[in-house]
Structures are given as C-alpha cells and as structure tokens.
Amino acid sequence: MSGRPDVIVVGGGIWGASTALHLVRRSPGLRVLVLERGPTLACETTSQAAGQIGQLRANPLMVKAVGRTLALLETFAATTGHDPGFVRSGSLHVATTAERMAAFRRTVEGVRRLGVAAEEVDLVRAHELVPRLNTAALAGAVFVPGDGYVDAPRCARAYAAAAADAGVEFRTGCEVKALRTEGGRAHGVDMAAGPLDGGVVVVTGGPWTARLLAGLGHAVPAVPIRLQQLRTVPDPGLPAHHPVVRIPDASCYLRPEAGGYLYGYIDPHPLAVDVGAAARGVRTADIAVDEPLMAEARGRLAGVFPSLGSLAVDHYRQGMVTCTPDANYVLGPAPGVAGLFVATGCSAMGIAGSAAVGAWLAELVLDGRSTDDLSPFDPGRFGARAADCDWLVAESRRVYANYYSLAAGGTTYGGRA
C-alpha cells in the first residue's frame, strides 16, 4: 500500500476480515490495512470456532445479523471466486423436556414473524434427518432448514481474499503494541517495528482487545472464557444431509466434520482466561485439553446420541469465547476517542454474526451511524462497572454458563433483547 491508510484494522480474524471487505465494498478505493500478529490470518480464536450459523434466537437483532451472514455466504463463492466452505445443512434443535419444547415453540413463533422458516417436526422426521438420534429420549424437535455451518478459518480467509481482490492489504506477523491518540483522536498504532500513522482505527482483536484499550484507560466489558470441543473418528453411517444439532438440555451442540462428529459443551463452571498472564501473553494454542470435561459432555449426550460412545476421539479442539455480562457484542465507537472503533465480545455468536459485524462497522466508520439500532452493543453501556474486574468476570461466566438456559420468553441461545 502506498501512502497513509485510511483505515487500520487491528486483528485478522473473521471479524477483521469481514470489516475490511465491507469497507471496500461500500467505498471502493478506500485504503484499508489489516494487521494480524499471528503468522497467518484467522490463526487464533477463529481457527477453533465451531462455525455454526443458526437463526433460532430470542433477540430480533441477532436473528437479523445471522440472516445477513447466511445471505452473504449463499452466493459468496459464485460472486467472488473464493469458497468459504458454507454448508446449508439446516439445524435441528431437540428437546428432552416438555418445558424446553414449549420454549422452542415460543421462539419459533418469534423468528417466523421475522421471516425465518422454522418448523416443529415429528420424531420420525427428526430420525430421518439424524439417523443416530435416539428419538425415544426426546419430547420434540424443531428444524430450521436455512441454517448451516462453515469451516471458520476457511470462511475468514475467503472474506480476506475477496477484500484483497478489492485492494485491502493484509500484513501478518505484525503485533500492535499500543494505539496512538492525540487530542482525543486516534491516529495510528505502535508496533515493534515502529509507529504507523493512519486515519480511523478499528480494533477487532478478540480476547486481546481489552489489553489495547486499557492503554487508553478504557475497560472493555468482555472476558475470554475457555472453550472445549472434540471431533470423533469418522462414522460410516453419517448421512450427507446431516444438519447441525443443538441439544440445549444437555448444554451441547454437534455437527458433521471430516466424516465424524464435532461436538462442544457449554461448561456449567466456565473458566475465565487471563490472556495477559504469561510474559508473551496467552495464545489460543496455550489452552490445555480438559479430557474429563469432554467425557462429561459425552455422558450428557449418551441418552440422545448413544452411538458417540462407540466412536473414538480423533481430535481435541480448544479455544476461547469472549463473553459479556449481557451476552451482547461490544461494538461501536470507543468512548471519548474519536476515530477509534471496537468490536469484541462475540459471546459464542462470532461466526454467525460475522457479516453483520463487518457491515455495521463499515457503516459506523463511513457514515458515522448504522441503519440498525446498535445501542445494545454500546462499548460504554456498563459504565464504571466495566472496570470492576471481579464483577465483570463473575457476570460473564454466569452468562456463558447459562447460554442454553430457559428464559421467560423462550430459548435465549445468547444475545439478550
């Protein structure tokens, strides 16, 4: 890139790549530079995401956000030449209690009003969709045919490739040490190689965002929470049409991957991760495998998916999910610093909302406002409480532990209205 960048994006995960893509789509010729500290793009938390994209949400704004991602991905390979690995498999949500099924019905009613195709299916149909399912353990099920999943790092790289085709520059191995401000305005970043001047700065650094903003005296209301998943060896009986399956009564989810089953567990006693604990900072690769926790997950799934007990573990996958005290994103202008924008706190909806996050940030940067009401995501919404580390960690852990909890209005699945 020749000359000073108009926008510097700090963080080359899926949100950073989506932001860069949407910026140049809305403003061709804009000079956008994305800085990633890792050796490759999407090598940190994005690389470990399950990549599920589901519309059954209690929060209308998140339903809309997921819809934008699905719409983008549906034609992405054909229109850009870069394949994000999108599989429109649909998603099956299964209930093992009457209370859960009643909550499903309420949520289905809500998303239908927003134009989402969702339907209650009988157990015969549920078994056709997922042959390994023990339908005798179920109280009912809901199918959302428009849902799907992606290989998350592949999707991020596809976003980045399309952005690069439009002129965005991506630099890897470039760790940002600090954000540069003067007179209450952001004007660049400091790296190990020296300062870099720019126009607007957008920080999409996931769990490491808070460290950068702390240098400006801002507390980011988001906490990294440990993520644990595993993939089984291939199952010869896994059908090509197999959907994503959510089993909220077991706090688990499951989808096909590499011929086997990738499944994860919402830990009822989640561990917060201090990314600054080590001298070099904690990386995603530093998260250790917790085999007993995943054995607990398998036990929770045994009644619904008994066949998992006969499939060996092929691969453990660990990462981080950056959570907030209300399960909503942290997205918008940084308080008190003109020209600085932040997006973090994916709250287990990072891939699903990736297109909307990029579009929202592009609107904020280029127009100074968004077409959607983003006040629920306001980075300053918690006020002084965001600086209370004990409160922030406790509330974020509580919200993550209750991701699949039943609420008065239905199944929350994250993101409060």
Q: 382: domain CATH number?
A: 3.50.50.60
Residues 256-266 have a mean pLDDT of 97
> Looking at the structure, do residues 193 and 210 belong to the same domain, yes or no?
yes
pLDDT given at position 405: 87
> Looking at the structure, do residues 35 and 160 belong to the same domain, yes or no?
yes
Banded pLDDT at 281 (limits 50, 70, 90): confident
> Looking at the structure, do residues 111 and 47 belong to the same domain, yes or no?
no
Banded pLDDT at 406 (limits 50, 70, 90): confident
Exposed/middle/buried for residue 231 (C-beta within 10 Å: 0-12, 13-18, 19+): buried
DSSP output for 257-310: ETTEEEEEE--SSPPB--TTSSTT---GGGPPP-HHHHHHHHHHHTTT-GGGGG
Measured over the CA atoms of residue 333, residue 337, residue 340 and residue 345, the dihedral's sign is negative
The rounded mean pLDDT for the chain is 95
Please tell me the pTM assigned to this model.
0.96
On whether residue 64 sits in a domain, the answer given is no
The tokens describing 310, both together, are 């006969």
pLDDT given at position 1: 62
CA–CA gap between residue 340 and residue 169 (Å, rounded) = 19
> Looking at the structure, do residues 141 and 211 belong to the same domain, yes or no?
no
Q: Which of 257, 289, 318 is the last residue of a domain?
A: 318
CA–CA gap between residue 379 and residue 137 (Å, rounded) = 43
CA–CA gap between residue 46 and residue 350 (Å, rounded) = 8
Q: The tokens 């090598």 sit on which residue?
A: 43
Residues 252-279 have a mean pLDDT of 92
Q: The tokens 């005296």 sit on which residue?
A: 217
Do 377 and 331 meet the contact criterion of CB atoms below 8 Å apart?
Answer: yes
Residues 33-54 have a mean pLDDT of 97
Do 133 and 55 meet the contact criterion of CB atoms below 8 Å apart?
Answer: no
Q: Using alpha carbons, select from 349, 323, 347, 321 the residue that is nearest to residue 227.
A: 321
Q: The tokens 């201090």 sit on which residue?
A: 274
> Looking at the structure, do residues 47 and 109 belong to the same domain, yes or no?
no
Q: Which of 261, 289, 318 is the last residue of a domain?
A: 318
pLDDT given at position 410: 44
pLDDT given at position 315: 95
pLDDT given at position 249: 95
Report the length, in residues, of the chain.
417
> Looking at the structure, do residues 265 and 141 belong to the same domain, yes or no?
yes
On whether residue 244 sits in a domain, the answer given is yes
On whether residue 417 sits in a domain, the answer given is no
On whether residue 416 sits in a domain, the answer given is no
In this predicted model, what pLDDT tens digit does every residue of 113-151 receive, in sequence order? 999 999 999 999 999 999 999 999 999 999 999 999 999
pLDDT given at position 412: 52
pLDDT higher than 50, residue 409: no
> Looking at the structure, do residues 268 and 352 belong to the same domain, yes or no?
no
On whether residue 2 sits in a domain, the answer given is no
> Looking at the structure, do residues 50 and 193 belong to the same domain, yes or no?
yes
Q: The tokens 């926008």 sit on which residue?
A: 7
> Looking at the structure, do residues 248 and 387 belong to the same domain, yes or no?
no
Give 175's contacts (C-beta < 8 A, 6+ positions apart). Answer: 37, 191, 192
> Looking at the structure, do residues 330 and 397 belong to the same domain, yes or no?
yes
pLDDT higher than 50, residue 163: yes
Q: Using alpha carbons, select from 132, 155, 128 the residue that is nearest to residue 143.
A: 128
Report, in angstroms and rounded to the nearest whole number, the Rg of the chain calculated over CA atoms.
21
pLDDT given at position 279: 59
Banded pLDDT at 201 (limits 50, 70, 90): very high
On whether residue 71 sits in a domain, the answer given is no
Mean pLDDT lowest among 200-209, 280-289, 337-346: 280-289
> Looking at the structure, do residues 217 and 233 belong to the same domain, yes or no?
no
pLDDT higher than 60, residue 358: yes
> Looking at the structure, do residues 396 and 350 belong to the same domain, yes or no?
yes
Banded pLDDT at 408 (limits 50, 70, 90): very low
CATH number at residue 105: 3.30.9.10
Exposed/middle/buried for residue 277 (C-beta within 10 Å: 0-12, 13-18, 19+): exposed
In this predicted model, what pLDDT tens digit does every residue of 375-388 receive, in sequence order? 999 999 999 999 99
Query: Residue 280: beta bridge partners?
Result: none
230: domain range?
84-148+225-318
Q: What total of structural domains would you count in the chain?
A: 2
Residues 311-335 have a mean pLDDT of 96
DSSP single-letter state for residue 133: -
On whether residue 48 sits in a domain, the answer given is yes
Q: Which of 318, 341, 372 is the last residue of a domain?
A: 318
pLDDT given at position 290: 97
Measured over the CA atoms of residue 57, residue 62, residue 63 and residue 66, the dihedral's sign is negative
On whether residue 366 sits in a domain, the answer given is yes
Strand order of the sheet with strand 194-197?
Answer: 176-182, 185-191, 194-197
Q: Is residue 231 within a helix (H) or strand (E), and if so which, with residue range? A: strand 223-232
pLDDT higher than 70, residue 278: no
Query: Residue 202: beta bridge partners?
Result: 9, 341
